[in-house]
Structure 1
Amino acid sequence: MVVGRLTIRKLTAADYEAVGRIGFAAWRSSGEGEPAFDQSDVVEAARSAFFSYPATAKGDVVVAEFGSRVVGWAAREDEPNYISDIWVDPDFQGQGVGSALLMCLVDHILGEGCAAARIDTRASNFKAIQTYERHGFEVFWRGEQFDSSLGVSLEKVHLAKSLR
């Protein structure tokens, strides 16, 4: 389990390649059972989105480092209480990295005085949903939603956690 030497810090330009690689690898590993994820155009759209994202990120982006290796990242974009991304290197999944990133951003949201934190994921991403629920998030919506970066509709869930 990764705990002792895990550091969470702000994204720097030196992290861009690792963030793209980790995001794409985590997306691939969590996409089992999603028929659209086998389409070459969807895979290429995801690859492009992950590798271009770090240089264009508009919000609060943090990385998790184990020793000197970036092993995950998370972001808040669009709204102050919305966690837009959490991605963990497949070799480090299930070791608390995602939970540490989640709680870091929840602390940022709480520190800004927001009453609730929100996050979305694919309905088939059971491990992520379990992690979010373990930290007090509850599903409040489930349905079909168009993913503009991939160009496909996916079944999604929206979760929220009261911070008051």
Structure 2
Amino acid sequence: MEAADREAIGAVGFAAWAAGGAFEDSYRNPEVIAKVQHEFAVFPHKTKGEIFVAELDSEIVGWGAREGEPNYVSDLWVHPDHQGRGIGRALLVHLCGLIAAEGLATVRLDTHARNEGAIRLYERCGFTIIWHGIEFSKSMGVPLEKVHMEKRLV
């Protein structure tokens, strides 16, 4: 990954987060926004996991990551200008294929409970909600209403 790729990955992730309608206005204060923007900027530099990008005309337009548990998709972000074109689905299918090839029985991911577009995508890809509750978001520094989702591979 080139330095410019890391910048693009951070920028795409932050743009997708900022355009999302899932977060309450109380989370959109300047301190939270600055914290989230910083987290996206440093993620490609500090992750110990794998990042996979989607490109159109040599431009990074989306990315997905595996960090933490081997069957956990930690991130899936598509720039708002490119959403609805199958990019998120293609990234998710790729990540699930890698996890299946490793012989793991399930794929897990989490998202904000009001992120209806992402939840619809995940459900269309075979995921089901296995938990719904409040969790503290380290990247935002606030408690969030989240869902944990899972897909059986075998």
Q: TM-score, normalised by structure 2?
A: 0.96
Partner deviation per Cα, 1:102-127 (whole Å, 9 max, x = no partner): 11100110011100000100001000
Partner deviation per Cα, 1:68-112 (whole Å, 9 max, x = no partner): 111000000100000000000100001100001111100110011
Tell me the CA shift for residue 31 of structure 1. 3.8
Q: Does 1:100 align with 2:115?
A: no
Tell me the CA shift for residue 60 of structure 1. 1.2
Correspondence for 2:51: 61
- Unaligned segments of structure 1, at least 5 residues: 1-10
Whichever residue aligns with residue 125 of structure 1, its letter is N
Tell me the CA shift for residue 14 of structure 1. 3.4
Correspondence for 1:4: none
Q: SS where residue 131 of structure 1 aligns?
A: helix
Tell me the CA shift for residue 12 of structure 1. 4.2
CA-atom RMSD in angstroms? 1.1
Match of 1:141 among 131, 140, 147: 131
Q: Identity rate of aligned residues, in percent?
A: 49
Tell me the CA shift for residue 40 of structure 1. 1.1
1:48, 1:21 → 2: CA distance? Answer: 10
- Unaligned segments of structure 2, at least 5 residues: none
Residues 83, 32 of structure 1: alpha-carbon distance in 2 compared, 3 angstrom cutoff: closer
Q: SS where residue 37 of structure 2 aligns?
A: helix
2:19, 2:134 → 1: CA distance? Answer: 21
1:12, 1:113 → 2: CA distance? Answer: 31
Whether the aligned pair in 1 keeps the contact of 2:22 and 2:116 (CA below 8 Å) is: no
Match of 1:21 among 11, 23, 44: 11
Match of 1:43 among 2, 18, 33: 33
Partner deviation per Cα, 1:125-152 (whole Å, 9 max, x = no partner): 0000000000000001000000012110
**1:68-79 equivalence runs, <5 A:** 68-79=58-69
